[in-house]
Structure 1
Amino acid sequence: MFPSFGFPDIPRPFNTQYRCFSVSMLPGTERSDIEAGGKIIMPPSALDQLTRLNIVYPMLFKLSNRTTNRTTHCGVLEFVADEGKIYIPYWMMQNLGLEEGGLIQVESATLPVATFSKFQPLTTDFLNLTNPKAVLEMRLRHFACLSKGDIIAINYNKKIYELNVLETKPAPAVSIIECDMNVEFEAPPGYVEPSVSKAQPMEEEEPELDISSMLPEPTGFIPFSGTGNRLDGKKKRTSSENEIQSQLLAEYTRGIPDYDYQPGEIKFIRARRKKEEKENIVDDFEAFQGKGQTLRQSKKK
C-alpha cells in the first residue's frame, strides 16, 4: 500500500451486478416493511466492499437495467441477502422492467437533499383520504430517495396507492432523508372537478290560510257551551278582573327599576281586588248544605 501523505481517503465508487428478486422471494418470514418502502436488501459481501471503499453515508444507490435502459434510486435496509442476489420492492421491479432473477447494475450514488416534489395519484381514491399530504409524509419515512418518472406505491390502511413522481428539485433524483420538502399534488388522469350547482333563489313563502274563517258557523246543538262553578264557592274571574291584574303588573314591568324605592321597604306586587269591589260581590253560594245519611241504623229502645 502507498502512504496517504496526510491526504484524506477519496471515496471510490461501488459498481456491482446482481441477480434481482422481489421481496416475496426473500427466505424467512414475510417482510411487508420492505415492500411498503424504497429500500433494498443486499448481501453481506456488499457491506464489506462498501466499508473498504470508504463510501459516503447515508448509503444511496442507483439501480440500472441495461436491457430496458431504465434507472431508479434507492437506499439499503439490511445486508442479509444470499450472495450474488438483491431483493427489492415489487413496484421498483415494475419501474425497471425486471423479471424475477434478472440482472441489475448497482452503483453508489450521491444525491442532493430534496426541497420540492410533485406527485400525481393514479386514482381518485388517494384524494378521498382525510389528509392525503399527512399520509404521504408518514409513508415516505420508509424511503431514502425519489426519482423523477418513478411510480411509487405506498401502503395505507391495508390498501395500495400508486403515485407518479412528476417533479423533484433541485435534481431529477434527490435524497429525502432529514429534509424539509414542499409537496404538491396533480389531479389524477381523467379527473373532473365536481360541478357545483348554483343556489336557487328561495321562493317567498305564501301566508298561511286561516281555515277557521272559511268554515261555516255551527248550528243546532253545541256541546259544552255552559258555564262552570268552582268547588270552593269563589266566583270565576271576569274579564274586568283580568284587566285590573294586567294594569297592576304593567305598572311594575320586569327589568325596569323602581325609582320610588325607599331603603328598608320591600314591596310584594300581587294582583289583588280592590276593597270596594269585594264589598260589591254578592256571593249566595254556600258549600255543603245537604243533609247527611248514616248507614248504621239506630237501636230501638
Structure 2
Amino acid sequence: MFHLDMPPTGPRSFTTQYKCYSVSMLPGNERKDVENGGKIILPPSALDQLTRLSIVYPMLFKLTNKKTNRITHCGVLEFVAEEDLVYLPYWMMQHLLLEEGDNLQVESVSLPVATFSRFQPQSPDFLDITNPKAVLENALRHFACLTTGDVVAIKYNSHIYELCVLETKPGSAVSIIECDMNVEFAPPVGYREPEHMQEKGEDMALDPEELMPQPAGFVAFRGEGNRLDGKKKKASMDKESVSPKVLYKRGIPDYDYKFGTLHFLRRSRPPPCKENPNAQDDFKAFSGEGQSLRTNKKK
C-alpha cells in the first residue's frame, strides 16, 4: 500500500529577493504618482508567480531590509520594472535605510482592515494647512497600507510634509483600501504652546497709597526723642511705619463723556464758602478802570 504526499491546498506566500532602486531611476517620464504614494513597481515575472499562487487580493507586500532589520508594508502599482529589480518611493528607501542597488526581500502578506490611525507631523509647518485631515485623506488614496513606525511623505501645495505613523489599529500593520478609518494627530515635533500672559492676581496688584507722593509739609510726631539717662533709644519700629501715608482718594469719572470731545475746565473765581453760601462776592465783572496812552490836553 502506497501513500502519496498530496500538495498543500492552502495559499502559498510569495517571497523573492530584488535589487531596489528609487522611482527617480525608473526609465521614462517622471512618475509622481509613485513618488507620492505607498506602492511599488515590480517586474512582470512577479505577476506570473502571483497568479499561480492563491494570493489574497488586494496584493499587499512586506518589505524587509536584512541588513538593518527594517520592515514596512506596501501595495503594488504596476508590473513594468526590469527583471530582478523593484522601484520604491524615496521616502520608503529612507525608512528602510536602503541605497541604490541594495537587496530587498519582498513577501506577500494579508493585513487586517484599518479602523484607527494616529499621525505625528515632523514639522510645525503642517499646522499651516487649513484642513489637515482632508489633505491627509486625499494623500492616503495613493497608499495601500500603513505600518506603525513609518515616516510617510505627502505633497501639498508644492511642499512635502513628513508624518510619523504612531499607532494603527487593529494591528501594527493595516490595510487602508476601502475602509472607514478614524484619524488623529499628535502635536508636531518642535511645537510649543503659545505663551499667554499669566495673571498674577494679587502679586501684580499695587496699593494706590504707594503711588501717592510722600508728605512734604509738617508732619506731627516725626522727630526723635532723647532719654534722660543718655542711653540710646532702641529702634522698635521702622521709619517707614512711623511716617503717615497720604490717603488715596479716587476721582469720580465723567460717565457722560462723549468720545472725541475735549472739555476745558476754567474757574475764574473760587467756589462759595461752605459756611456761608449766601455771602456775596466782591468780584464785579468789568469794574476796572482803563488807562489811555494819550495825554489829556484839557486843562
In 2 relative to 1, CA 37–205 (structure 1 residues): closer, same or farther, beyond 3 Å? farther
List runs of 5+ in structure 1 lacking aligned partners: 220-301
Residue in structure 2 matched with residue 186 of structure 1 by the alignment:
186
Residue in structure 2 matched with residue 84 of structure 1 by the alignment:
84
Question: Aligned partners of 2:36 and 2:127: how far apart in 1?
Answer: 19
Question: Aligned partners of 1:106 and 1:147: how far apart in 2?
Answer: 15
In 2 relative to 1, CA 96–108 (structure 1 residues): closer, same or farther, beyond 3 Å? same
Deviation at 1:17, TM superposition (A): 0.4
* Matching of residues 257-268 of structure 1 within 5 Å: none
Deviation at 1:11, TM superposition (A): 1.6
Residue in structure 1 matched with residue 110 of structure 2 by the alignment:
110
Question: Aligned partners of 2:65 and 2:121: how far apart in 1?
Answer: 25
In 2 relative to 1, CA 127–51 (structure 1 residues): closer, same or farther, beyond 3 Å? same
Question: Aligned partners of 2:198 and 2:38: how far apart in 1?
Answer: 46
Which residue identity does 2:157 align to in structure 1? N
Question: Aligned partners of 1:90 and 1:215: how far apart in 2?
Answer: 85
* Matching of residues 32-181 of structure 1 within 5 Å: 32-181=32-181
Structure 1 moving runs of 4+ over 4 Å: 198-201
Contact 2:112–2:174 at 8 Å: present in 1 too? yes
Report % sequence identity. 65
TM-score by length of 2: 0.65
Question: Aligned partners of 2:180 and 2:13: how far apart in 1?
Answer: 28
TM-score by length of 1: 0.65
CA deviation map 1:118-141 (0-9, x unaligned): 111000111221011111111001
Indicate the SS of the match to 2:149.
coil
Contact 2:124–2:190 at 8 Å: present in 1 too? no
- Bigger radius of gyration among the two: 1
Which residue identity does 1:43 align to in structure 2? P
In 2 relative to 1, CA 198–17 (structure 1 residues): closer, same or farther, beyond 3 Å? same
Aligned length: 212
Contact 2:123–2:190 at 8 Å: present in 1 too? no
The CA RMSD over aligned residues, in Å, is 2.8
Question: Aligned partners of 1:205 and 1:72: how far apart in 2?
Answer: 74
Question: Aligned partners of 2:69 and 2:144: how far apart in 1?
Answer: 22
Deviation at 1:215, TM superposition (A): 9.8
Deviates more, 1:89-98 or 1:180-189: 180-189
